């Protein structure tokens, strides 16, 4: 729909948006529950945001930050002051390039998020003390 086609006075247009958003969020919540079960010590605090896709939280008492943009995903683990941004200093990192072949890609579906987060964390999890 274009902006001109949206009738904000029509409640059914808004209901569709309200029904879809919780469904998508619940799919991400399910992924995060599986990730937290698969990786003891992982606590995802936030994820999503569109382009770039981002996630942050804790892993084994350290802060982690995942960012996917320009068809590259980077997972960093270290220490932050606020727990929501790129750790500085970065103590461990894993990067995966050319995920889709589209250099402008920057958003994950819940399934892609689970797959690539798992791959990246598996690369460095044994190094994190």
**pTM (two decimals):** 0.78
* Confidence (pLDDT) at 100: 86
Question: Would you state the pLDDT for residue 68?
Answer: 93
Report yes or no: 103 and 71 within 8 Å, Cβ to Cβ: yes
* 44, 66 contact by CB (below 8 A): no
From the first residue on, what is the mean pLDDT of each consecutive set of 10 residues in the chain (129 residues)? 50 48 81 96 88 92 92 91 71 92 86 94 93
SS3 content of the chain, % helix, strand, coil (to 5): 35, 30, 35
Angle in degrees, CA 41, 43, 44, rounded to 5: 145
| Residue spans per domain, the chain | 3-124
């Amino acid at each position: 729909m274009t902006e001109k086609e949206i009738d904000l006075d029509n409640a059914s247009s808004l209901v569709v948006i309200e029904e879809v958003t919780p469904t998508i969020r619940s799919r991400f919540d399910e992924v995060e529950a599986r990730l937290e079960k698969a990786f003891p010590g992982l606590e995802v605090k936030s994820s999503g945001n569109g382009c770039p896709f981002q996630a942050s939280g804790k892993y084994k008492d350290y802060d982690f930050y995942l960012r996917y943009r320009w068809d590259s995903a980077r997972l960093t683990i270290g220490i932050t002051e606020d727990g929501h941004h790129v750790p500085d200093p970065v103590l461990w990192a894993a990067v995966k390039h050319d995920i889709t072949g589209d250099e402008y890609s920057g958003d994950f579906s819940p399934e892609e998020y689970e797959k690539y987060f798992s791959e990246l964390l598996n690369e460095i999890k044994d190094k994190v003390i």
